[in-house]
Amino acid sequence: MRDTAVLWFKRDLRIADHPALHRAAQAGPVLPLYIIEPALWRQPDASARQYDFVAECLESLRADLASLGLSLVLRVGDAVEVLDSLRRHHGATTLISHEETGNAWTYGRDQRVSAWARAQGVAWHELPQSGVVRRLKTRDRWQTRRDGFVQQAPLGPVQGLRGVDASSDPMPSAADLGLPDPCPRRQPGGRAAALETLGSFLHHRGQNYRRAMSSPLDGAQACSRLSPHLAFGTISVREAAQSGAARAAEVKGGRNGWSGSMRSFQSRLAWRDHFIQKLEDEPALERRCLHPAYEGLRPMPPDAARLAAWAMGETGVPFVDACMRSLRATGWLNFRMRSMVVAVASYHLWLDWRATGPVLARLFTDYEPGIHWSQMQMQSGTTGINTIRIYNPVKQGHDQDPTGAFTRHWLPELRDVPDAHLQEPWLWQGAGQVLGKAYPEPLVDVASAARAARERVWAVRKQDGFGATARQVVRKHGSRKSRRADPPAPDRQMRFEF
């Protein structure tokens, strides 16, 4: 009899196009496992909105596995302890999972699991499920390798599986794990929700994707909204890319916006892998500035009052506050606004990205560590290789919310402010009726804060040796100017969500 193969699900909560499931089926009787790790959910980047999304994905996964004759085993505890218990009680000497590019905690956990597996004679096979390449020596020809993976035919259903009977623990609630911040308006999890989201984007919602993605109002409908499903693996990148390619072939040559939208969608899928590859190559990216010259630029610990005001949407800058309040309520924000709230925190409020990053990570239902930490540094100007982009939040409010509908929805206390002054209520002659009472006065003067920040950041770039270090970063991680290392450039600048 062949040994039991434990199939460890992590950020791959599906059975379709699942290389690890196929590998497990070849190894022996399959024990599908998901471990709820309380220590993981106690990390500063975890929240109830993410956990509740995962819980819905697990219910969907449980039903899909049952259709294959398998029972999902749910265990609560430390991964090494859980896996060792299965080894002792079920003869599990083979462990199979997908490669995970997670946060620093999961990286450390995987190192512990690897050491345990070696010590106990357990064969741990980790398979790629995206275009991210483990132990990559050079970014040269990375794009070719990534595209080759994505263009392979998705794996079909697995036949003839044999399961293993094992007990499961009850599913803890978010409250059981001490997770605050429920988000009832977040996107639902599960495979069915992923497929419905993909289909509605490709055939209905995505027609004006390229034009509408910058708008906090229109973007909520026109963006793909696949990011949480890709982050937790209810759909594979390969499935999304190939579905998009098929749709592109259908609309090729049309002048109704679909062709451009499909090109942008494919580009952002490629950039998604690109940014996750950065964290795979440099796990310390989560806690250390990509360019070391920026260490110590901003104070740590940060100004606690400014950090709290920014997090709660009470900076006194209306468009920034509307975006943060929308994010808190829904778990989602369109790409340009994500960039703007980071830039305002980093430049205007002069907060370190390591203080603001966990706040946003908790608020994003679609939190993907590889994208998140790369983008936190990119939008904070600490990479040394990207253009410094200091958003003017007042201008962004006028440009992206010209009618004021978005701002007024999330800031009802500004209902009496005239349209002309909605984004700058401090200029309104009746400002005394609102500011400092129903709505806070601005924490900073937007223009002068931006000037001061620009001078500080550029002063670092003028230091001796800065350029040499930046070139080393480019060689290791690639940049937008390195054609061999990067995918085709998307519209303007890549941000968090596509």
265 appears as a binding residue in the annotation: yes
User: Residues 6 or more apart from 418 whose CB is under 8 A from it?
Assistant: 428
- Nearest in space to 44 (alpha carbons), one of 103, 99, 109: 103
> For residue 60, how many other CB atoms are within 10 A of its CB?
20
d(Cα 458, Cα 453) in Å, to the nearest integer? 9
34 appears as a binding residue in the annotation: no
Handedness of CA 413, 415, 421, 423 (dihedral sign): positive
Give me the amino acid identity at 194. Answer: A
Give the DSSP letter string of 293-312.
GGTTSS-SS--HHHHHHHHH
Cα separations in angstroms, 64 against 57, 72, 129, 190, 233? 11, 9, 19, 10, 14
Place of tokens 């010590």: 119
Contact 117, 146 (CB under 8 A): no
User: Residues 6 or more apart from 384 whose CB is under 8 A from it?
Assistant: 290, 291, 293, 294, 461, 466, 469, 470, 473
56: phi then psi, degrees, rounded to nearest 5: -70, -35
Residue 52's Cβ-side half-sphere holds a number of Cα atoms within 13 Å equal to 21
- Known binding residues are 209, 265
- Known binding residues for FAD are 209, 265
